[in-house]
Amino acid sequence: MKTANSVRSRLRFDNLEHVKTPDGSGRVSVRLEWDGESYEGTVSCLETQQGVLKAASQATLIATLASTSSMTDAPIDMEVVGVKAVRAFDGWVVVTRINGQSGADRLRLLGAAPCEKEEDLPGAAVKAVLNASNRIVEQRVAR
């Protein structure tokens, strides 16, 4: 039985799957969890660092928007404007920019997430999108 305190108020990063194909392309799938429900987004990509980061960001946003589809008021519309991995000191930071519309409100969101190793950049891209979008999604659900 769930109590008011046990309900998760934000989307949680559950899983990221990156599949490479022989033709030099790939696919990134991201699964998010919220209150026991799973939401997934999948995007094709080029097998470059930037291509995988962009796909991870877009897949995260697809899953995020799927989690809001049952809201009765005006839907949230968001798009990834850009994502960038920056080498900082001995690690990395992924920064993402999201624009969108929520009712009459124009959204200009910025998210960031650190990681230590280059192979962890796609996961950091997922976290950067959640960092930017969770505030808006949480506000909409609280209404």
The pTM for the full model equals: 0.88
Which of 7-16, 78-87, 104-113 comes out lowest in average pLDDT? Answer: 7-16
In a domain, 4, yes or no: no
Segments forming the whole domain that contains residue 35: 12-142
In a domain, 7, yes or no: no
Instruction: Encode 89-141 in three state secondary structure.
Output: CCEEEEEEEEEEEECCEEEEEEEEEEECCHHHHHHHHHHHHHHHHHHHHHHHH
In a domain, 60, yes or no: yes
In a domain, 5, yes or no: no
Count how many domains the chain has: 1
**CATH number reported for the structural domain that contains residue 17 in this entry:** 3.30.160.270
In a domain, 6, yes or no: no
Task: Report pLDDT digits (tens) over 29-72.
Answer: 999 998 889 999 999 999 999 999 999 999 999 999 998 876 64
Q: Give the C-alpha separation, 59 to 122, whole Å.
A: 11
CB 28 within 8 A of CB 42: yes
What tokens were used for 118?
Answer: 């280059």
Note the pLDDT of residue 107: 86
Task: Report pLDDT digits (tens) over 3-15.
Answer: 444 454 788 999 9
In a domain, 3, yes or no: no
